[in-house]
Every structure is written in structure tokens, then in C-alpha cells.
């Protein structure tokens, strides 16, 4: 399933800067913020051999990566996923969320199409970090939902930021995405940065008995477009 979304003209940028160069990050909070591209390597996966690219955000010291496949700088919208780190789901196969299944499905779809990109951003737990995520899970074990738990710890429901996406995409000459997400707010955030998103593509995978309340909360409180099996 896909939804058309109004596009915004992308910012012009050099498509192929040299390794270890710094790219500007559009940010109202810090106009001088920048991201540094470091290096890349081949990454064989069960679906295809991707190219893994490393970036560093000097402001935070965080390391972010992009996985790419095929030619991306032909001006056509690129099949993409902007994925926030979820150690529990991506690496430990947690059934509390759908994150790992979404990442795997995104890579599979890109491999099938032969062209695409995944931006993997280090903002665990919707931006609260791994240890606070464990604390939030403890609160959920006691009855809080995923939004209540974050708020009870003193955080916003969703603290993620997407300012790094535009310069990361510009590095590859990408200005328009066919974005795999169930979150319309992510589409809006990218459009405000000047990234065109002419199509939102649903990625409804990984539903199981352990994450039904989590998914229902994301739909009801965070506006995600999710149909649950019982419906």
C-alpha cells in the first residue's frame, strides 16, 4: 500500500563529495552543525551485497550508517527506509516491537528492486537511549504503554530528529524518496528538510501477540498508519 505525499524541492548539493568531508546539516537549532563522511565497504547480506557507508556527527560523536544498493543519483525517487536504531529488535530479535522485522523487510524489498537506501540513525528508544529504554520497558512491564513510559521518565513521546538525513542523502545525490514507513510524521519531517517524498509505502510486518498493545499505542497516540490482525 502506498500513499502520495506532496513533494518539496530538495536543496541542491554535491552528489559525490570526497571521503572524510564535512556536509552541512540543516538545523534551526544549530546552523553550523555538520556531518562527516568517513568510508565505505561491501556488506554481504542474505538478500544482496550492499555498500555500507559510515558517517560521524561531530556535535554528538554518534556514528550513523547508510546501506545502499544500485545507482541512486539518476534523479528518480529512491526506495528508502529511515530506520532508528533498535538494538533489542534489530539484534536481539525482540518481539516487543516491529523494528527488526521492518529493517529486514526494507532490505529485502530494496534487494528485490535492485536499488535503494537505508539510513540507520543512532537514536535508540525513540531518542531516549538504550538504558532509558530498558527503564521504559520496566514501566511497560508494570502496565504503562510505550508513550506513557517515556513520558513518566521525563521524556517526550518521540524525541527523534531527522536533520542528518538531508546531508546524508545529498552525499549520494538523492533528493526524493519512496519512503517505507507507517509514520506520516516522518514524511513531514523529511519534507521540511527539503527532501521530496512523493510516495509513502506501508511496511506492515512483524506483528505478534507480544507487540499488539505497542502497535495499537503507536497508531492511537503517535498517528502511525497500522492495521492490526484482528481488524
Distance CA 59, CA 68 (A): 25
- Return the bridge partners of 125, or none: none
Which residues have a catalytic role annotated?
158, 160
- Return the bridge partners of 156, or none: none
What is the distance, to the nearest Å, from the Cα of residue 30 to the centroid of all Cα atoms in its chain? 21
Residue 169: is it exposed, middle or buried by C-beta count within 10 angstroms (0-12/13-18/19+)? buried
114 in Cβ contact with 104 (< 8 Å): no
Which stretches within 114-201 are classed as H helix? 124-127, 130-141, 146-152, 165-171, 184-192
Distance CA 166, CA 176 (A): 10
Report how far apart the first and last C-alpha atoms of the chain are (Å, whole number). 16
Amino acid at each position: 500500500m502506498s500513499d502520495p505525499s506532496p513533494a518539496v524541492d530538495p536543496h541542491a548539493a554535491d552528489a559525490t563529495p570526497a571521503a572524510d568531508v564535512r556536509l552541512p546539516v540543516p538545523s534551526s537549532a544549530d546552523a553550523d552543525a555538520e556531518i562527516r563522511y568517513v568510508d565505505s565497504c561491501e556488506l554481504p547480506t542474505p538478500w544482496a551485497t550492499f555498500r555500507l557507508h559510515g558517517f560521524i556527527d561531530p556535535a554528538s560523536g554518534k556514528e550513523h550508517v547508510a546501506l545502499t544498493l544500485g545507482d541512486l543519483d539518476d534523479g528518480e525517487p529512491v526506495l528508502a527506509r529511515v530506520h532508528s536504531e533498535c538494538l533489542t529488535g534489530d539484534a536481539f530479535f525482540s518481539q516487543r516491537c516491529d523494528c527488526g522485522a521492518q529493517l529486514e523487510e526494507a532490505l529485502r524489498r530494496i534487494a528485490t528492486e535492485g536499488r535503494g537506501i537505508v539510513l540507520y540513525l543512532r537514536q535508540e528508544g525513540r531518542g531516549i537511549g538504550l538504558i532509558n529504554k530498558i527503564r521504559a520497558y520496566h514501566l511497560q512491564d508494570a502496565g504503562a504503554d510505550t508513550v506513557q513510559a517515556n513520558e513518566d521518565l521525563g521524556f517526550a513521546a518521540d524525541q527523534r530528529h531527522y536533520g542528518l538525513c538531508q546531508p546524508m542523502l545529498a552525499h549520494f545525490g538523492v533528493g526524493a524518496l519512496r519512503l517505507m514507513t507507517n509514520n506520516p510524521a516522518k514524511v513531514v519531517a523529511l519534507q521540511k528538510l527539503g527532501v521530496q517524498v512523493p510516495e509513502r509505502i506501508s511496511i506492515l510486518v512483524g506483528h505478534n501477540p507480544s507487540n499488539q498493545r505497542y502497535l495499537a499505542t503507536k497508531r492511537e497516540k503517535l498517528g502511525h498508519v497500522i492495521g492490526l490482525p484482528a481488524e
